[in-house]
């Protein structure tokens, strides 16, 4: 294994660092080999950059160095190709000293009080700070509240490095260049190539932004420079809160339409024929993923510091958080219509992932729904082609094994929570006693067995 003492990077001027970015000679370190960091590492490796992936999980490091993948949408061939370009993974943060740029892509979840949990960011920054050198570029990509880069990251970097390095401000060329650039990953979506998604960058100093723009410009077709890290941080929140609010709107309208016996999906399809002023959003059993369910609470928490309450945003979060409970009520009602009680019923949940055709459990409404069903006395099984087992996480403790899709008639209800494209919904409806569909996956199937909610 290479060590920092033998391979420490030589400090470069900003002009030299920009030139090394443009010539693909710069060493790029990416901390966090998850759903954001690993795809980013492969993009850089694809442009011939020498990339080092850092992660505290020894199993991830071993898997990557063996040329294998633990993310469904990333093939082992992609890892092997990156290795030929110089990619390797490590848990040794001393190798940070050999990097020209370090990009932080670690989780920023909520704690049990729905307040920001910055432990991963804080732990990472403390781990890299002792290994910094003058002229290094440090980028935070983790979604967070406005002010994090300057209020949390910069002090930790400045106080934790033994050289007394400071974050470069204004047009300063010396020091550590600290930048925020929000990730814009969309797991499972391939309609837009990653390189075509513009990259937003905002830094503590103008020089750092220019260096970051040169680095990201090597892999993205467009870089958007903004005036500060806080602007870039708020940009990410706006993007996701926009989605959160609109999803809450259609989730609420769905419940009203059900009472009025109107098909909300038919309404949305008709509305989206308007060529201006409308963007289609769709209802579901609740929000999942690392950003949309979390970002409203990040901003609401920060707003309290300024004696401001984000009432509209908080309401949207409450509507979306209530959707698993709405699903529970609909399951109970559908069973009741068939002279059955939820307690003692056998329920098969289809789909654990938070959205279609991905292997991502983060904040998935399926997890909450399963726990609610269990607490209500139902006997619950699940099927998901991406998860042979599900154990314990930050907010769930299920310890379940995937059930094969056979003998569906032995269940009192089959509950579609994630509409994976691999499911044969026609067969599922034919074989099941009752199908409760939260995703409109059975659209076009006319059967008294189907209840859509």
Residues labelled as active-site residues:
291
Q: How far apart are CA 80 and CA 83, in angstroms?
A: 5
Structure tokens at 180: 């925020």
Closest CA to 214 of 17, 12, 9, 13: 17
Q: Rg of the chain over CA atoms, in angstroms? A: 24
Cα 7 to chain centroid distance, Å, stands at 33
Separation of CA 254 from chain center: 26
Give the contacts of 114 (CB within 8 A, at least 6 positions apart).
297, 301
Q: How far apart are CA 48 and CA 357, in angstroms?
A: 30
Which of 218-223's residues contact partners 24+ apart within 8 Å by CB, and which partners?
A: 218/21, 218/22, 218/24, 218/44, 218/47, 218/49, 219/43, 219/44, 219/46, 219/47, 219/195, 220/194, 220/195, 220/196, 221/195, 221/196, 222/198, 223/198, 223/199
In whole angstroms, give the CA distance from residue 121 to residue 108. 7
d(CA 81, CA 63): 15
In the chain, count H helices and then E strands: 16, 15
Q: What is the dihedral of CA 436, 440, 441, 442, to 10 degrees?
A: 70
Determine the Cα–Cα distance for residues 392 and 45; give it in Å rounded to an integer: 34
């Amino acid at each position: 294994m290479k060590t920092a003492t033998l391979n420490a990077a030589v400090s470069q001027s900003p002009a030299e660092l920009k030139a090394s970015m443009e010539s693909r000679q710069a060493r790029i370190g990416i901390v966090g080999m998850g759903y954001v960091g690993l795809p980013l590492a492969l993009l850089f490796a694809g442009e011939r950059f020498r990339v080092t992936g850092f992660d505290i999980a020894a199993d991830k490091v071993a898997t990557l160095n063996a040329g294998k993948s633990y993310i469904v949408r990333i093939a082992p061939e992609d890892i092997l190709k990156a290795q030929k370009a110089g990619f390797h993974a490590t848990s040794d943060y001393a190798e940070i000293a050999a990097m020209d740029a370090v990009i932080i892509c670690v989780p920023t979840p909520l704690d049990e009080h729905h307040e920001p949990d910055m432990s991963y960011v804080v732990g990472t920054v403390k781990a890299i700070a002792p290994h910094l050198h003058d002229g290094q570029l440090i980028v935070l990509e983790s979604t967070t509240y406005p002010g994090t880069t300057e209020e949390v990251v910069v002090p930790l970097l400045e106080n934790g490095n033994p050289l007394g390095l400071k974050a470069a401000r204004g047009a300063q060329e010396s020091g550590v260049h600290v930048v925020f650039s929000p990730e814009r990953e969309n797991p499972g979506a391939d309609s837009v190539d990653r390189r075509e998604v513009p990259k937003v960058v905002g830094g503590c100093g103008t020089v750092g932004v220019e260096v970051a723009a040169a680095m990201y410009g090597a892999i993205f077709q467009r870089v958007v420079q903004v005036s500060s890290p806080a602007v870039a941080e708020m940009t990410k929140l706006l993007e996701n809160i926009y989605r959160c609010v609109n999803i809450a709107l259609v989730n609420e309208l769905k419940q009203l339409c059900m009472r009025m016996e109107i098909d909300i999906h038919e309404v949305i399809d008709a509305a989206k024929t308007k060529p201006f002023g409308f963007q289609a959003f769709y209802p579901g059993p609740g929000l999942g993923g690392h950003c949309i369910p979390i970002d409203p609470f990040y901003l609401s928490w920060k707003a309290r510091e300024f004696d401001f309450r984000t009432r509209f945003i908080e309401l949207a979060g409450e509507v979306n958080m209530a959707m698993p409970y709405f699903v529970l009520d609909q399951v109970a009602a559908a069973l009741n219509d068939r002279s059955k009680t939820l307690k003692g019923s056998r329920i098969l949940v289809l789909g654990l992932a938070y959205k279609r055709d991905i292997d991502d459990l983060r904040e998935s409404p399926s997890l909450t729904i399963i726990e609610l069903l269990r607490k209500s006395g139902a006997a619950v099984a699940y099927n998901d082609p991406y998860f042979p087992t599900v154990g314990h996480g930050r907010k769930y403790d299920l310890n379940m094994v995937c059930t094969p899709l056979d003998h569906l008639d032995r269940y009192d209800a089959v509950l579609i929570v994630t509409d994976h494209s691999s499911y044969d919904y026609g067969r599922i409806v034919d074989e099941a006693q009752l199908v409760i569909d939260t995703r409109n996956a059975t659209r076009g199937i006319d059967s008294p067995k189907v209840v859509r909610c």
